Amino acid sequence: METKIKPRNRITDFKNDLVFKFMLSDLNDSRCYYLLKIIIEGITGIQCQELFVLNSEVNPEHLSDKDMVLDVRVKTDEGKLIDIEMQNSALTKEVHYRFQIYGARMMDHQVNRGDLLYSENVHEVYTILFVNDIDRDNLLLIDTYMPRNQLNHVRKHNLLTHHNIYLPFIDAVVREKGLKNLSKIELAIYTLYHGITDDIMSLNSEVVIMMKEKMDQFNEDEELVLAASKRQLVKIQHHQEKIRIRQEGKEEGLKEGLEKGKNEGELLKAKENTLMLFKSKFPQEDKQLLENLTLSQYNNIFKALIENKDLQTIKEIMKKY
């Protein structure tokens, strides 16, 4: 009987953050260096002679943390710091916050407390976020942020610049320019979003060929393939957990809101009934005495009024409950 060999799993999605880091981190590999340079120069406009990856290690044993950020941190020959990350999901408020905080930390970590000459050692920081989403308020492929004043002038000596690359928007660029007329950075973005397709391979582009070779190399390492598959599954599960927790929170909040509304309704009704009876029994007294009491107080005062108790008894009930 012939034994069928189970085909080995393959990763084909460049948006998997482990694949993304593998493609750019090893600067001993000329393909990584070339692709990293294309991305940095094409997005930031920085022309750099040399690049240094500060966190090149890709260790499958360290990937079980669902919240681990697999970024690529780079330093240029001029000392500029660049952080590049792939976000294969919607660009949420939390992600916006995280990148602003992370950029601020990259600046802060350059300064030592008490260093009077820190300005000579501080370098510009660039953060680049590839995101599988579109900002419908800013329909751009590459959206660049830096602090500006009310006259739209960039802050002098600005240290922090952030770039969002909205991967799905590459399709709009293709419709306008045509696939054959894409720049190198646009070809890289197209391949990151769509993967290796026949139409993109037919262009015989050096960018696409190198990206395919890096993906093939990744798939030759079974340990990395397994780690990427597990990591993607864990991230999906984590995302579903967040949705479930959020939904449960909404349901619990609705339940609490309904309960609170019910209690407030009972309190208002008891207050109105008590005030009406109090006014009929003691028309000369200030009804402000009965403001801001508890449901229990109103119920007990109402009972006392029904039983024709005197005003002193009513006041004692206010103190007691």
Q: Is 155 exposed, middle or buried (0-12, 13-18, 19+ CB in 10 A)?
A: exposed
What's 202-255 look like in SS3? CCCCHHHHHHHHHHHHHHCCHHHHHHHHHHHHHHHHHHHHHHHHHHHHHHHHHH
Say whether pTM exceeds 0.75.
no
Give the side-chain half-sphere CA count within 13 A for 108.
6
- What tens digit of pLDDT does each residue of 56-91 get? 887 666 555 555 668 899 999 999 999 999 988 788
Per-residue confidence (pLDDT) for residue 249, from 0 to 100: 64
Residue 53 has pLDDT above 80, yes or no: yes
pLDDT digits (tens, 9 = 90+) for 91-142: 888 888 888 898 888 888 888 776 777 777 789 999 999 999 998 888 999 9
